Amino acid sequence: MSNKQQTAVEWLMDRLPHSIETQFSKQIEQAKEMEKEQIIDTFVEGMRCQNFDPNKGRAEIYYNETFNK
C-alpha cells in the first residue's frame, strides 16, 4: 500500500476527460512543475521557520517521497 499523496493538479486531472489531458498536455506539465516548485519552496521556508538549515535537496527528497508515484 502506498502512502503517496495527490497534488491538486493530479486530483484535477483524475476528474477531467482524457481529451483535455491530451489537448493541454504542455500546459498540464507546466502546472505540475509549478506546483512542485511551490511545494519545495514551502518545505524550505518551513525548515527556515523552525531554525533548521533550509536545504532544497532535502525538500526535493520530501516531494519525491510524498508525491511521486
For the chain, give every domain's residue range. 25-69
What is the pLDDT at residue 2? 58
What is the pLDDT at residue 29? 95
Helix and strand totals (H; E) in the chain: 4, 0
Per-residue pLDDT tens over the stretch 12-69: 999 999 999 899 999 999 999 999 999 999 988 888 777 677 777 888 888 888 888 5
pTM, to two decimals:
0.72
What is the pLDDT at residue 61? 87
Name every residue whose Cβ is closer than 8 Å to that of residue 48 and which is 6 or more positions away in sequence. Answer: 54
CA–CA gap between residue 32 and residue 64 (Å, rounded): 13
Side chain identity, residue 21: E
- Please report, for residues 15, 27, 49, 62, 68, the alpha-carbon distance to residue 56 in angstroms, rounded to integers and kept in the order given: 31, 25, 14, 10, 17
What is the pLDDT at residue 1? 42
